[in-house]
């Protein structure tokens, strides 16, 4: 499962932060996840709950913000959000696109005690 390894990595990174900053408890983790990553937020939350047990992250709330897939048409410079993964420019119909967002998997901020 894709989400399981992502969450394992995420917890590793967060625990490192907890150690470095001598945080007592992490209350909330705000994550930004691009829709292009095909991560399912509910299974991400589930994996986090299971894997964080017994760690300094236990009980932390995982806030998942989904980032839309945005592209720029290199022909006419139009910027648009890609719906249902049809990669054509809505303005000129071109398919020379540069992807601007949608592949993120970032920890945006942490709320700690």
Interface pick for Zn ion out of 78, 99, 100, 112 (rule CB under 5 A):
78
Least distance to Zn ion, CB of residue 35, Å: 21
Query: Is residue 25 close enough to count as binding Zn ion by CB under 5 A?
Result: no
| # of chain residues touching Zn ion (CB under 5 A) | 8
Query: Is residue 76 close enough to count as binding Zn ion by CB under 5 A?
Result: yes
For the segment 54-73, give every residue that binds Zn ion (CB under 5 A).
73
The DSSP H or E segment spanning 51 is helix 41-51
Interface pick for Zn ion out of 33, 57, 89, 97 (rule CB under 5 A):
89
Binding site for Zn ion (CB under 5 A): 73, 75-76, 78, 89, 91-92, 94
């Amino acid at each position: 499962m894709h989400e399981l390894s992502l969450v394992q990595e995420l917890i590793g990174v967060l625990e490192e932060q907890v150690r470095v900053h001598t945080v007592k408890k992490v209350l909330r983790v705000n994550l930004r996840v691009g829709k292009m990553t095909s991560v399912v937020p509910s299974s991400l939350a589930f994996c986090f709950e299971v894997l964080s047990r017994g760690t300094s992250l236990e009980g932390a709330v995982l806030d998942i913000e989904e980032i839309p897939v945005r592209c720029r048409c290199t022909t006419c410079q139009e910027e648009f959000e890609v719906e249902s993964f049809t990669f054509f420019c809505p303005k000129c119909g071109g398919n020379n696109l540069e992807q601007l967002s949608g592949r993120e998997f970032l920890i945006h901020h942490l709320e700690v005690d």
